[in-house]
Amino acid sequence: MLGRMKMPVAACALLLLAGCSADRIERGVFHSRKGYEVRLPASGWLLASGAKADLELRRGGPAPGGMLVDATCEGSSPRRPLGVLARHLVFGLTDRSDVESQETVVGGRHAVRSLVRGQRDGARVAVEAVVVKDGRCVYDFLYVAPADHFEAGRSDFRGFVESLAVGREP
């Protein structure tokens, strides 16, 4: 009898642990299984389906755009310079012009913020990329919108970035 009880108890323990390690959104905050969290923008932004990043949001309507956050906690990324990491986020843009780039601090961690304008699939776009780095992970934030509508979502993006909180190890 005791042997039969061990299996269900072990299965329940595994389910409980798996539930703790999954990405989730609670009360407007995205909790990543990689040990960080960010607050979602107030309204108008929807979760993108089939996203490859940890979290991707899109907004349609008269001021379309998209933003994402993705953390890399393995490999050589955490050892690469911030400027190199930021440039990787804007690969694929053509006719690109760098508008600004500055070192900054986000959540007490070193970061670099870049603003780039260019073309993507024949359309003029503006991109703001923020790369935050600590000893364990690199946190990539990206906001892309048609150049004419870029400013409409920029404050939402900045709040999204500034809400970064890093806690437990994954």
Q: Is residue 64 part of a domain?
A: yes
pLDDT the model gives residue 69: 97
Query: Hey, is 98 helix, strand or coil?
Result: strand
Is residue 15 packed enough to be buried (19+ CB in 10 Å), middle (13-18) or exposed (0-12)?
exposed
pLDDT the model gives residue 136: 86
Q: Is residue 10 part of a domain?
A: no
pLDDT the model gives residue 87: 62
Give me the number of domains the chain comprises.
1
C-alpha dihedral sign at 22, 138, 132, 122: negative
pTM score: 0.81
Q: Is residue 1 part of a domain?
A: no
Q: What are the CA-CA distances from residue 167 to residues 35, 42, 68, 107, 150 (Å)?
A: 6, 23, 19, 11, 31
CATH of the domain at 75: 3.40.1000.10
Q: Is residue 146 part of a domain?
A: yes
pLDDT the model gives residue 161: 98
pLDDT the model gives residue 168: 60
Residue 80 CB neighbours (<10 A): 15
pLDDT the model gives residue 12: 34
Q: Is residue 117 part of a domain?
A: yes
Give the whole-angstrom CA distance, residue 139 versus residue 130.
8
pLDDT the model gives residue 167: 84
Q: Is residue 46 part of a domain?
A: yes
pLDDT the model gives residue 71: 95
* One pLDDT digit (tens) per residue for the chain, 170 residues: 545 444 333 333 333 333 446 899 999 999 999 999 999 998 899 999 888 999 999 998 888 999 999 999 887 666 676 666 666 666 677 787 788 889 999 999 999 999 999 988 888 999 999 999 988 899 999 999 999 999 999 999 999 999 999 986 55
Q: Is residue 112 part of a domain?
A: yes
Range(s) of the domain holding residue 147:
22-166
Q: Is residue 82 part of a domain?
A: yes
The residue behind tokens 């670099």 is: 112
pLDDT the model gives residue 40: 97
